[in-house]
Structures are given as C-alpha cells and as structure tokens.
Amino acid sequence: THFGFETVAEALKEQRVRGVFSSVASSYDSMNDFMSLGIHRLWKDHFVRNLNPGRNPLTSSSAADTQGWNILDIAGGTGDIAFRMLDHASHINNDAHTNVTVADINPDMLAEGKKRSLQTPYARSPRLRFVEANAEKLDMIPDNSIDLYTVAFGIRNFTHKDVALREAFRVLKPGGVFACLEFSKVENPLFNAVYQQWSFNAIPYIGQLVAGDRASYQYLVESIARFPSQEEFSGMIRDAGFLIPGKGYENLTDGIAAIHKGVKP
C-alpha cells in the first residue's frame, strides 16, 4: 500500500515464521507427530515413493539417464524429505548420482538437518547440500536446472506463495515436476468437525505442555486453516504456468494433507 502497511505486516510475518521454526527446530519431530498423530512419516514415505526419484541404470536407455536427478527440496529444514529421496534413488533405483539441495530460510533448521545428515551415508557427499535461501528468491539456482522441486509442509508459511511458485517454475527444466506435500482441507464434514476440535483445542494445549510454547503451535494451526483448498491451490500452480496432471492433487487421510503436482511444459 501507499503507507507501507503491507510491507511491515509481511516483514513481521517473515520474522514470526523464523521465530516459530527457530524455537521448534530441535523438538521438530515431536511437533510434526502431534500435528499429524504420527502419520506425517507415512505421508512422507508415500510422497517420495510416488515421485520415484532417480534413474535406474539397468532400465535406462540414454547416456543422460545415468546422470541422476537434480532435486531441490525447498523448506527442507531437517532433511526429512532429502534423506528419503536419496535412500529411494540409491536402494530402489540403484542410482548413485541423484543429488538433493536442501534449501531453507532458517539457519537453525538447516543446522538441525546437517546434524541429522551425519547419521546418514550422505553426510559430506556431493549428493547432499544445504543452502540458506528464501523460496521466493532462489538466485543461486540457475534457470531450467532442476528435475524435481519438492516442498513439504513449507509453502503455507511463505509470504508470497505466487512468487515462490514462479521461482519453482523458473528453476525447473522443461518436463520437470513441482510436487508439494501440505496440510489441506478435510473433505468429510463429520471427520472435519473432530479434526477442527483436535487442531484448535488440543494442539496448542499439547504445545504448551510439551514444548512450553503455546504461541508457535497456535500459529501453525492457524496457518493450516488459512491455507487454500485443494482446488484453489491447484489453480495457483496452474497460474504459475504449470500443466496440471489429472485432477492435480491426491488427498491423504481424507484431505488432512494433500500432494499437489505441476509439470513445467
């Protein structure tokens, strides 16, 4: 606006998000477990299996196929998705070349991810790197360089989701895939009533009890409620220039979470 209110509000939002994730970086798994009753681990497994990262050298025909995928995991924080991607590429597709760049705006989350990577075979390997970056401005990532862009439980925190989607479009190669795993809208009204009670009453309370931090958990619940519906979000992906395969999304656990996809033409 002329008065700069928008900018101030946006700066405050970014600061808020930073604060929330700095304060939960180490208790991050328990937070996710509470938010999803532990199911987020199964959703993440499904997300990665479904994307089937990597190229199997035994079934690939062209030489380029032996180079593996360049994967960019945005808001990748603690590396949860990245480690699964590399495990899948290595063990399911016998691909030792696929690499993942984990990008996150929050240095505390990245530090937690780096620490966790020491428990994996990918620590200090060229297949895994961590970069501090805002999803809305990925200057360090060249145009048309990425085969698969993933964002799991991150995009609802972005200030300008449309700008982040356009950045995703820019960095992906033609034919490259945008894939997002995010909390979404529960479809069954009865189940939704229970879920709303759980979200708005139980989660902030548990956050207070377990982490002594009601405000961060309250923020997370509200950010889920504000996030667009499955159809609306699919429309935003289309507006950024992507082709939408099929229905555009897959509901997980009746829509508590959903996987959205777009393909760069």
In the complex with ligand SAM, the residue whose CB is nearer, 77 or 176, is 77
Residue 90, classed as helix, strand or coil, is helix
| By the rule CB under 6 A, 117 interacts with ligand SAM | no
Residue 256: C-alpha distances to residues 44, 123, 162 (Å): 13, 33, 22
What does DSSP assign to residue 66?
G
| By the rule CB under 6 A, 153 interacts with ligand SAM | yes
| By the rule CB under 6 A, 106 interacts with ligand SAM | yes
In the complex with ligand SAM, the residue whose CB is nearer, 29 or 65, is 29
Q: What residues contact residue 164 under an 8 Å CB cut-off, 6+ apart?
A: 74, 135, 136, 155, 158
| By the rule CB under 6 A, 78 interacts with ligand SAM | yes
Q: Which two tokens stand for residue 198?
A: 């759980």
- Classify residue 65 by burial, with Cβ atoms within 10 Å: 0-12, 13-18, 19+: middle
- As measured in angstroms, the least distance from the Cβ of 63 to ligand SAM is 33
Task: Please give the Cα distance from 207 to 228 (Å, whole number).
Answer: 24
In the complex with ligand SAM, the residue whose CB is nearer, 80 or 147, is 80
x/- track of binding to ligand SAM for residues 168-207 (CB under 6 A) = ----------------------------------------
Residues forming a β-bridge with 183: 257
| By the rule CB under 6 A, 256 interacts with ligand SAM | no
In the complex with ligand SAM, the residue whose CB is nearer, 19 or 57, is 19
- As measured in angstroms, the least distance from the Cβ of 61 to ligand SAM is 33
| Cα 112 to chain centroid, rounded | 16
| By the rule CB under 6 A, 258 interacts with ligand SAM | no
Task: Please give the Cα distance from 215 to 205 (Å, whole number).
Answer: 10
Stretch that binds ligand SAM, among 119-127, 146-154, 184-192, 234-242 (CB under 6 A): 146-154
Contacts of ligand SAM in 9-38 (CB under 6 A): 17, 21
Stretch that binds ligand SAM, among 48-56, 61-69, 78-86, 211-219 (CB under 6 A): 78-86
Q: What residues contact residue 103 under an 8 Å CB cut-off, 6+ apart?
A: 72, 73, 74, 75, 76, 130, 131, 132, 133, 135, 138, 141
Task: Please give the Cα distance from 124 to 118 (Å, whole number).
Answer: 8
Query: Which residues lie near ligand SAM (CB under 6 A)?
Result: 17, 21, 74-78, 80-81, 104-106, 109, 134-136, 152-154, 157-158
